[in-house]
Amino acid sequence: MRSVTYSMSVSLDGYIVGPDGNFNWTAPVEEVFRFWIDEIRQVDVHLLGRRLYETMLYWETADQDPTLDDSMREWTALWKPLPKVVFSTTLSAVQGNARLASGGLAEEIGRLRAEPGEGEIAIGGATLAAEAAALGLIDEYRTMVYPVLVGGGIPYFPRNERRVDLELVETRTFSSKVVYLHHRVAR
């Protein structure tokens, strides 16, 4: 069965976005960006909430920017064709290789897990991931922890969630002092 993974950058105090809505502290250095490129290669489909979808729209046309470096061009070449499912109650249409979810999150994940394929089902966006976590649908948590305290904002982990035991799969410390933590849900 295909795994559902939740991967995002997070501050040391647990937020993906600060209280001012800013996440400029996550601007990756080349070494971290290369890691994200390798990670996206393992994904067959990406589930996104509306806010993350709108943020990632940049990559649908980024390859038209003549100042883009080689690694950003490589990311764009991987991101654009990647199938995406967008969960939104306010959008009526989406762009690129994306479609609006036709059912609830559990139904969509169930359908995607039943499809043939080896790659992961990635989930992005804290609100969508919180819903998936509450339903027990996330198999792996992958955090890129930045050495910064932002003091509030949108948390990576949902609050008041039930206990979930995790197994550490991998850690990596980058030269920029960003730490990658990969955990699998203990079942």
User: Tokens 């050495």 map to which residue?
Assistant: 147
The C-alpha angle with vertex 112 and arms to 44 and 32, in degrees rounded to 5, equals 30
Q: What is the structure's pLDDT at 118? A: 86
**Averaged over 38-45, what is the pLDDT?**
96
Q: What is the structure's pLDDT at 171? A: 98
Q: What is the structure's pLDDT at 22? A: 83
Q: Is the dihedral of CA 99, 104, 105, 111 positive or negative?
A: negative
Name the pLDDT band for 31 (thresholds 50, 70, 90).
very high
Domain ranges of the chain: 4-185
Q: How far is CA 32 from CA 24, 28, 36, 75, in A?
A: 14, 5, 6, 12
**Averaged over 56-76, what is the pLDDT?**
91
Name the pLDDT band for 160 (thresholds 50, 70, 90).
low
Which CATH class name applies to 4-185?
alpha beta
Q: What is the structure's pLDDT at 157? A: 86
**Averaged over 149-172, what is the pLDDT?**
89
